[in-house]
Structures are given as C-alpha cells and as structure tokens.
Chain A
C-alpha cells in the first residue's frame, strides 16, 4: 500500500550498522535485525537484553539504544531469526517486535549533519569573537593597524570556510525556493550572511574597518541551533510513532500446497497465498475463508460492536480480529474493490486537500521576506543617492538585513513547537507532523468516533446487579475457554467480584452461536437466545444467555463502556466553546445510548467512511475547523479529512498513519490537554512575533539611518532570540487550561 511505503521512507534507523567494527564481524553471512523493545527503561534492562541476545546461538553482536528503545542485532540468518530472538526476549520479560524496513535506511543523518553545522558555526563564532573583542579593545588603546589587519585576515580565514560549510542548510533551502520563484525566510538569511561575508572580505583586502565576519557567523550559529532543536524533536516523535506501529506485528504465517508453514512479512503477501490466522489474531489481509468458521470482530472496520460469523467462502477483511477459531484464508487480489483499497483511496483524496494548509511561519514569511528585501534595497538606494560611498550604503543595508533577520520566525516559532511537543511527548501524546499544533489551535469542532474512541472498544457486563454470583461463576466457567469479547467480559466481571472460576472440560464452541458443555438434558449453554433454545426473551437488553438444567435462564446485557473520563472530557470541551459531534458506524441504539451517557447532543449512527467524510466536509464548508478523533479503519479517511486528527495508540495501523497525533493510555483527557497546549503554543508564537516586532520597530529605523553597525545588529538580534526562546521554554512547565 502506498501509505505504508510513505511511512517506511521516513524510517528512522538508529543504527549501529555503520560502525566499522560490527560491519567487519558481520561480513558475508551476517544479517542485521532491528528489534523494538517496548519496556526497556533502564541500564539493567539494557544489560539483560544484550546478554540474553548475545548468548543466543548465531548472534554475533547485540547493541541496545535506550533513547530509541531499539536493539540492533547482527546475527547469522541460518542459525537464528527475528522470531526466535523475540521469543528469547519474551522469556525474560520483554515485549519486543521486529522493525521491518529499517535496514539500510539512515534517517538520523540529516540530524547529524545539522549538528555538525552547529559545531562548526559554534567553533568559528567563538574564535572570531575572541579576535573581534581584541580589535574593539584596540580601538580604545591604539592598536597597531598592522595587527588589526592581521586579525581581520585571521577572522576571514576562520569565517569563510565555516560559513560555506555551516550555511549550507540555509543556502540550499533558499536556492530551492528561488528556483520555484518563491521567497522563504532562508532567502534573507542567506543574503545577509553572504553579503556580510563578501563585504567584510572586500574591506579586509582594502584594509578597511567595516569587517563583520563575527556578525554573520554568530547569526548562523543561533539560527542553526533553532533548526536543530526543531528537527530532532520531530524525528523523536516519528520514531516513537513507528515503534508503536511495529509492535503490532507485521508478520504472517502462510501455508503452501504441501502444508508447510512459513513466516513472511505482510507486505510480501501476494494474491492466492494462503494465510493461517490463529484465534485472537488480527486478520492481516483481505481474503476469502478456505477452511474454519469463526466469529470475526469487525469493529475497527465498521464500528459495529457485535462480531460477525465467517464461514468458508466468505470474505474477511484486513484489520478485523479472528475471535474464536483458527481460519485459513486465501489472499484475494488487492484490487480497488477491497474495503481497504477503498479506504486508502478516500484517504489519499482527503489528505491532498489538507496539503494546502500553509504554516504560520510560512504565512508570516510570505509578507515579511519581501518587506525585508525592499527595506534593505531602499536603505542602499537612499544612502547611495544621498552621496555617501557605496561601502557606507551597503553596510547600512547589511545592518538592516541582519536586524530584520527573521529570528522570530526561524527560531521563536520552532522553539515554541519544541517546548510544546516535548511537553506532550512526556505525557504520552505523540505529535507526528510539524504543523499539527498550529492546526489543532484553530479547532472549533470536535468529532468523535464511538467504538474504541469514546468507549474502551470492548464490551463489559452491563447488568451485573441483576445477576447472582452463582450464575455468573457458572457462566464464567464456560466462558473462560472462549476468546469471544462477550465471553471475556463475563470472565472479567466474575474476576472483578472475586469469584472462583473453575474451567469446565469438554466445552464446545459454535461460532456465531455460543458455548455448551455436558450432554443431552444436563447441558449447560451460554450464548445467543436461539442457541439456548429461548423463544421469548424476558429481558430484551440481554444479548447473552445462560441456561442450566433445572434453573431459570439468566440474561446478560452487554455494553461497551465509556472511557472513564469521557463525560468529563466532553463537558470540558463544551465549556471551552467547542462543538461536539459523534459519528459512528454502529447501530442506532448503542450510539444513542453512548451519546446520551457522554452528554453529546449531536450524533449520527450507521455512518460509512464516505458518510463521515461528507459530514466533515459539510462542517468545513460552513467554516468550522474539525478535529477528528477516531481509531477504526473506517475512521481513517475521516482522520485525513479533518483539519486535525487524533488517534488512540490502540487504533488500527492505517488510522495511526492518517492521524496527526497519537495519544496513549485509557483516558480521553489527552484531548483536552492537547487542545489547551496547542492554543497556548499559538498564543506564545504570537507573543514572540510581538517581541520581535517591537524590536524591529525600534531597530530598523536606526539601522536604516546608519546608526547601527552590523555587529551591534547581530548582538541585538541574538538578545531578542534569547528572549523569545526563553519565553517559549516557559511552555514546558506552565499550567495550561482550556478556556473559551
């Protein structure tokens, strides 16, 4: 699927692969496997994992990376494989999964390159400052002009290579923008740096005094720091999102004509291959059932809470869960008719629409950059016309460019983003895209999905008060041998009450019907009313019944429980002036029930993916900015269509890819926190614009009047950068509340 490939293109390889020592050990036969270890948290874990893996036959080396929660293993593929390694880790208590497609890619490289630029610029800035300070001091204490020239030449010697290396990120981006006839903020940055350097070189050769290498290098150093912070935070978030996806497993068991089984990656599946799906596993691919009959949980696909029964010959869809019995599935061609392909198509279309969003900083830049260039030009022309020499004119113009140099845009907005993203990250909310926060800040309508989003996504016993302990414990004794969600709910309810569950022998499970044990008249049955032989139902809420010989039938009502804080979250969002809607693919009755108990007035049931998109488009058409919160496959297109989107970490893979943001945990409150932080971050970005604007309003006239030398300009600019960054960093710790 095109989507999956997009994600793998942004793969993050925290690799020990490049390291020469390991490469030598692993030559010819060795293979590098990257595993994600979810619960690796401390130095003890690292050592245990490395020792466990290293003592596995065939493993040549194992190196953990605690920050990325990954371990890179170099192993002989004949002796061991990823599954065995994962098994070994499981036996010592670590949940691991293989990261597919990470081998060979190295997305950490841009990060490292930027850090190199920061280091070079920092080195150059410090040393040039050393020389510059001497020169300034020399003005007061009669420095020998020859020594002054020597110092200027030394500065040039340090600055020119440093600028040509460390300035590249800006030069490249500026060149790209100019090539497509646009202006971005890197154009004035590049212009200021290059002009200042060229002008200083000229002055140095002429033996003049207007030498400003220090200004241009210091400017580069500060701007590079901002860019590095921005980029590394985003990479960290992407890595975390990728880990979440990989932990859900990307391997399937296939079976060939001879009955031999193979483990292969999902993406290696081709039409016609037969796949084994164990009870409790997720169906990996669209296909037709060849053998076996099982209940299928399609809630991720349709939002429907009740499982469907799939028999041989019937179609099953990727993303659904095989509940009760193992199935053998023949993969059908991934043509455009499958549900998944349809959803992927809808999603792509919706994503294109969102691609038109222009980031705050870029919007500001589109006004700011031309203004800066015009002011610089005006200064140059003005001074030239007034009869001053061209050196004076160009010095004043450079000072204007440096003064206006967009630190507010190049540093302050990223600083706010980094502070906000890292704060959310610490709370378990992962921001996947760069402009997510800005879009979240504009939200005025929140659309929730029901199953798995507002609710926990799994049924619970609803009428526990009406069922006595004895009935519940005998139901649980039967239910314990099934994976059906209703059966699990019964077991969970029994366990909650502290009842003893004695597993019954010879339990037979009939897919789509129920469970029975015993024979003839002494049978105990648990299942649908028809299965239990009940014609008239006394309790129409009950969907599961227990019949025992010589006892009245007991009905169990099942409900999908709301997340514990769902009502509270809805209330808080409404208080903040947000409109709330519920769109679900489920039947009308359960949706109405959930909407009522969560306090949502506007709800729509039986929504297909295209209906959800239509609803969101209608809201957008009326000028609303919609946040879509959903988890199912059927929500994926809607997630892509919303102005912003949010998924729980339990969501389907495709939904997590579509969503801007992923939140972890059982509670819904991250939605409120996220919106509050996003709005606060937006306010801070504007505060920073205001700080920078005030500084520009004071300094630009002075610079145009020629009263500010480029050096003073650079110092003033750095001071304002530090001010706006400090302002942004407050966001890390400050308390935020969502208010209208």
Chain B
C-alpha cells in the first residue's frame, strides 16, 4: 500500500505535465493554423530569413 503514496502523486504529476503542455501549446498559438503547421515542419530555412531581415531593419535604423 505504501506504493500508493508515491504512485498517485506521480500519476497526477505526469497528467498535469500533459495538461500544462497542452495549455502552453494553445497559448503559444500552435492550434491557430493546423493545416499550415503540417507544412511548416518541413520548412527549415524560414526562421533564418525572418531573423536576418529584422536584424537588417534594426541595423538600418
């Protein structure tokens, strides 16, 4: 029975991690564009384009 003392908290903790991960994903906009995200994962050079662009902008100002 003593196993319950840590098994239940462990189970709840794992569940909470899952819940937290989902809420985080929701908040950070990962469910905004379900169709687009499927393609975006294949597109690996995109962040480079955006960052270099905004860097240039900032340097230029």
Asked if A pairs with B, the answer is yes
Cα–Cα, bound, A66→B33 (Å): 6
Inter-subunit contact B49/A50 (CB<8 Å) = yes
How far does the Cβ of B58 sit from chain A's closest Cβ, in whole Å? Answer: 8
Contacts of B54 in A (CB 8 A): 25, 60-61
Per-residue B-contact encoding for A90-104, CB less than 8 Å = 1, 0 else:
000000000000000
Q: List which A48-68 residues lie within 8 A (CB) of chain B.
A: 50-51, 54-55, 58-62, 64-68
Contacts of B8 in A (CB 8 A): 131, 154
Q: Interface size (B, Cβ < 8 Å)? A: 31
Cα–Cα, bound, A66→B40 (Å): 10
Inter-subunit contact A66/B35 (CB<8 Å) = yes
Contacts of A116 in B (CB 8 A): 23, 26
Partner of B36, one of A46, A144, A147: A46
> Is A127 part of the contact surface with B, judged by Cβ < 8 Å?
yes
Contacts of B22 in A (CB 8 A): 119
Q: List which A103-147 residues lie within 8 A (CB) of chain B.
A: 108, 112, 115-116, 119-120, 123, 126-127, 130-131, 144, 147
Q: Which stretch (A14-22, A409-417, A674-682) binds chain B?
A: A14-22
Q: List which B7-61 residues lie within 8 A (CB) of chain A.
A: 8, 11-12, 15-16, 18-19, 22-23, 26, 28-29, 31-36, 38-40, 42-43, 46, 49-50, 53-54, 57
How far does the Cβ of A597 sit from chain B's closest Cβ, in whole Å? Answer: 42
Take A25-B54, A60-B54, A119-B26 as given contacts and tell me if A46 and B11 are in contact as well, using a CB distance cutoff of 8 Å. Answer: no
Cα–Cα, bound, A51→B29 (Å): 21
Chain A: residues with CB nearer than 8 A to chain B? 14, 16, 18-19, 25, 42-44, 46-47, 50-51, 54-55, 58-62, 64-68, 76, 108, 112, 115-116, 119-120, 123, 126-127, 130-131, 144, 147, 154, 158
Q: How many A-B residue pairs have CB under 8 A?
A: 83
Cα–Cα, bound, A414→B42 (Å): 36
Partner of B32, one of A55, A60, A65, A144: A65
Most chain-A CB neighbours within 10 Å: which of B18, B23, B42, B50? B50
Inter-subunit contact A64/B36 (CB<8 Å) = yes
Contacts of A59 in B (CB 8 A): 53
Contacts of A65 in B (CB 8 A): 32-33, 36
Partner of B49, one of A51, A60, A112, A120: A51
Contacts of B49 in A (CB 8 A): 50-51, 54-55
Cα–Cα, bound, A141→B54 (Å): 66
Take A66-B33, A147-B1, A147-B4 as given contacts and tell me if A127 and B15 are in contact as well, using a CB distance cutoff of 8 Å. Answer: yes
How far does the Cβ of A649 sit from chain B's closest Cβ, in whole Å? Answer: 21
Take A54-B49, A67-B33, A127-B11 as given contacts and tell me if A43 and B39 are in contact as well, using a CB distance cutoff of 8 Å. Answer: yes
Contacts of A62 in B (CB 8 A): 50
Inter-subunit contact B46/A50 (CB<8 Å) = yes
Inter-subunit contact B32/A123 (CB<8 Å) = no
Contacts of B32 in A (CB 8 A): 14, 16, 65, 67, 108
